Structure 1
Amino acid sequence: MLTTLKDMLTETLGPLGPLAVVGVLGIILIAAVLPTLLKKRADPYAKLRGAAVQSAAEAGGKGQKKTLRQGKSSEKLDKFANFLEPKTEEELSTWRLKMTRAGYRGRDAVRKFHAIQFILGIVFLILGVIYAIVASATGEISTTTLIIAVMLPGAVGYYLPKYWVERRIQGRQGEIQNGFPDALDMLLVCVEAGQSLDQGIIRVSKELQAGYPALAEEFEIVAQEVKAGKDKTTVLRGFSERSGVPDVASFVTVMIQSQSFGTSIAEALRVYASEMRDKRVMRAEEAANKLPTKMTLGTMMFTVPPLLMILVGPSVYDMLQLFQNFQP
C-alpha cells in the first residue's frame, strides 16, 4: 500500500512529492500540538518550589540572579516569551536601545519585534514550501533549487524586521543630525532672551514638531524627565544614548562641562551652534562632491552604448554588407 501511495504521489507531485507531503504533515502536526503545549497546566509542586526559591532569594539578598522581566503580566505574549525575547540581560538591553533609537518606546517593543520576526519567518517558510510543491508538481526540480526555494523566503522573512529597524534608526539619526543646528540656534535665542535651559528646551520641542518630529520628540522627553525631578546630567546623557548621534553626544559633553565649571551656557551654545552649522555645510559639500562619481557609472551605462551604436553601427553594417558581397 505504501508503494502504491508513493507511486501515486510521485505521478501527481513529481519525484519530490512524497518528501513535500511529509513536510506538510510535519508542519500540520506541529501546529496541532503547539496550542496543547502552551495551554499545559502548571505543576503545583513547581509553584511551591518557585515560591521557596523566591523566599530564599529574598532572605539571601545579593545571591539572587537578575531576571529579564520584572513583575507579573497576563499578556498573551508571555507564553511565547521563551523564544520571543533575548535570553540574556545584555542582549535585551541592546535590543531595547535599538528599538528606542528606531522610535519604538513601548514596554513590549522588543518582545513584539521578536514575535513579528518569528511569525514572518514561519509564514515565508510556508510560502516557500508551497512554491516547492507547486514547482515539483509542474515539472522536475533539483534538490539545490528546492532547498533554496524553501530556505531563502524563510531567511528573508526572518531578517526583514531587522532590516526595517536598521533603516528606521538610520532615518531618525539623519533627521536628528540635520535638524540639530537649527535646534541649537533656537535654544540659543531662548537662552539669550532670558529663559532657562529647561524652558528653552520645551520651547524648541514645540517649534521643531513640524519640521523635525524625531528631534522634537527627544527634546520633549528631556523636558519631561527634568520636570519629573531627574538629575540634569543623567537626563542629558540619556538623550545622547537614545539618539546615537555624535553631534548630540558632543553637545551633551559641552553642556555638562559648562554646568560643572559654571561657565556661561549662552556662550557655549553660541560657539557650538556655529560649529554645527559649519559641519552641516561641510556634509552638504561632501554629498555634492560625491555626486559626479556616483553619476559616472550611470553615464557610462546609459550614454556610451547608445553613442557607440549611433557612431559605429553604420560602419559595422557596411562592413558586413561588403563581406557578404565578396563571399563566393
Structure 2
Amino acid sequence: MFDIFQGGFGTILLLGIVGFGLVAIAGFAAVNDKSNDPMSKLKEQVQVADTAKPAKPNASLRRKQSNGLKVLEKYAKFLEPEDAKELSAAQQRMIQAGYYGKHAVRDFQALQFILAVGLLLLSLLVVFVIAPDNFESTPMRAAAIIIPMLIGYYGPRKWIDGRVEARKEEILSGFPDALDMLLICVEAGQSLDQSIQRVATEMKNTYPALSEEFTTVGEQVKAGRERSEVLKDLAKRCDISDITSFTTVMIQAATYGTSITDALRVFAAEMRDKRIMRAEEKANILPTKMTLGTMMFTVPPLLIILIGPSIVGIVTELNSSNISGM
C-alpha cells in the first residue's frame, strides 16, 4: 500500500490531498466568518446610509426649492395675459427669441415690472433727494421721472425684438449650408431624422440658433410625434419664408412618396442662389447708403478749399477799400 506514495505519482497525490484539505478549511472558515459575506457587507452599508441620511433636512431643502420656484406663481394672473391667444402669441415670441422655458412670459413680465418700478424709485430719489436743485422746473422733473420708467418697461421689449431679428438673420444665413449638409447625409444613406440630428451636431458652433431648432426637431421626432407636425412647428417657431418652404417641400415629398433626395437637391440649389442674390442686393444698396456720408464729409471740405480763398480775397479788398476811403 505504501508503494503508491513512492515516486513522482505519490508526491503529486500527497500534494493534492494537502491542497484539498487547505481549501476545505478555508471554505469552512469563510462560511463561519460573516464579515467576509458580500451580502452582509452590503446590508451593513445600507443600514449605515439609512442611519446617516437626514430625512428632515432633505425635506426642508425640497420645500425651500419648491417655494423658490413658486415665488412668481402667486402673481401669475397679474404677470401673464389672461387671454389664451395673447398668451400663445407671447410664448411664441419668447420662443423665437430663444427662450424655451415654460414660464418665460411670466419671467419677462416680471422683469419689465421690476425694472420700471426700480428705475422710477431711483429717479424719484435723484430728483427729490440727491439733486433737487438741478430739477427746478416741473417739465424737467416730469421728464426725469417718466423717461427712466419708460426705458425700464420698454427696454426689455426692444431687447427681445433685437434678439428675434438676430436669430432670424443667423438662421437665414446658415440655412443653405445646413441644406447642403442635409443633402450629403441623405445621399450617404441616412434617414431624414438622422440627417437632421447630424446637421444639428455639426452646426452647433457656427450657427447655434439653427442647431437648436434642428435639435428640437430631432428630439420631438424621437418622442414619437409625427414628422409633419414637427416640421410645421419648426416653421411656426422660425417665422422665416425659406424655412416654411422647406417644411412644405418635405411634407409634400413624404405625402406623395416622391424622392426626398431630389427635393433636397433642388431646394438646396435654390437656397444657394437666393443667398447670392441677397449678397448682391446688399452690395447694390451700399453705395446709396454711403451717399449721405460722402456728402457730409466730402462736400464741406471741398467747398472750403474752393471758395475759401475767394472769400478771403473779397474780405481783404473790402477792408482795404474802407481804409483808403477813410
TM-score of the superposed pair, with normalisation by structure 2: 0.75
- Between 1 and 2, higher relative CO (CA 8 Å, sep ≥ 6) is seen in 1
Q: CA–CA distance in 1 between the matches of 2:253 and 2:186?
A: 14
Per-residue CA deviations over 1:253-283 (Å, capped at 9, x if unaligned) read: 0000110000000000000001100111000
Give the Cα–Cα distance (whole angstroms) in 1 for the partners of residues 106 and 158 of structure 2.
Answer: 17
| CA displacement, residues 161-192 of structure 1 (integer Å, 9 cap, x when unaligned) | 00000000000000101111111111111111
Kept in 2: contact 1:101–1:242 (CA 8 A)? yes
- Corresponding residue number in structure 2 for 1:34: none
- Gap change, CA 1:314 and 1:83, over 3 Å in 2: farther
Q: Percent of aligned positions with the same letter in both sequences?
A: 51
Give, in whole Å, the separation in 2 of the partners of 1:135 and 1:307. Answer: 50
3-state SS, counterpart of residue 190 of structure 2? coil
1:88-111 per-residue CA deviation (whole Å, 9 max, x = no partner) reads: 111111110010010011111111
Give the Cα separation in 2 of the matches to 1:140 and 1:89: 45
Distance 1:317 1:134 in 2: 55
Residue equivalent to 1:84: 79
2:262 alignment partner in structure 1: 267
Distance change in 2, residues 1:178/1:145 (3 Å): same
> Mapping of 1:104-183 within 5 angstroms?
104-133=99-128, 137-138=132-133, 141-183=136-178
Structure 1 residue 139 displacement after superposition:
5.0
Distance between the aligned counterparts of 1:159 and 1:74, measured in 2?
A: 26
Cα distance in structure 2, aligned partners of 1:282 and 1:295: 20
**Counterpart of 1:194 in 2: which secondary structure?**
coil
The corresponding residue for 2:241 is 246
For the pair 1:312 / 2:307, whether they are aligned, the reply is yes
The residue aligned with 2:223 is 228
In the aligned structure 2, how far is the partner of 1:152 from the partner of 1:231? 49
Deviation at 1:130, TM superposition (A): 3.2
Measured in 1, the distance between the counterparts of 2:253 and 2:260 equals 6
Distance 2:127 2:321 in 1: 56
Partners of 2:255 and 2:104 in 1: CA distance: 36
Question: Is the contact made by 2:183 and 2:264 (CA closer than 8 Å) also made in structure 1?
Answer: yes
* Correspondence list, 1:41-80, <5 A: 75-80=70-75
Query: SS of 1:107's equivalent?
Result: coil
Q: How many residues align?
A: 257
Give the distance between the partners of 1:323 and 1:168, measured in 2 at CA. Answer: 62
Tell me by how many angstroms 1:303 deviates: 1.3
Task: State the alpha-carbon separation in 1 of the partners of residues 74 and 192 from structure 2.
Answer: 46
The worse-fitting range, judged by mean Cα deviation, of 226-235 and 83-92 is: 83-92
Q: TM-score, normalised by structure 1?
A: 0.75
Range with bigger deviation, 186-195 or 140-149:
140-149
Q: Whole-Å Cα distance in 1 between the matches of residues 134 and 164 of structure 2? A: 44
Distance 2:148 2:273 in 1: 46
Task: Give the direction of change, closer, same or farther, for the CA distance of 1:222–1:145 in structure 2 (3 Å limit).
Answer: same
Shift of 1:228: 0.6
Cα shift readout 1:193-219 (whole Å, capped 9, x = no counterpart): 111101111111111111111101111
Alpha-carbon distance in 2 for matches of 1:313, 1:115: 61
Range with bigger deviation, 143-152 or 295-304: 143-152
Match of residue 201 from structure 2: 206
Partner of 2:247: helix, strand, or coil? Answer: helix
Give the number of the structure whose alpha-carbon radius of gyration is greater.
2
Give how far 1:122 is off.
Answer: 1.2
- Structure 1's unaligned 5+ residue stretches are 1-71
Question: CA offsets per residue over residues 124-148 of structure 1, 9 Å max, x none?
Answer: 2223323433697325632222222
CA spacing shift, 1:132–1:322, aligned 2, 3 Å? farther
Structure 2, unpaired ranges of 5+: 1-66
- The alignment yields a C-alpha RMSD, in angstroms, of 1.8
Between Structure 1 and Structure 2, which shows a larger proportion of helix residues? Answer: 2
Give 1:73 deviation, angstroms.
9.6
Q: State the distance in 2 between where 1:291 and 1:217 align.
A: 32
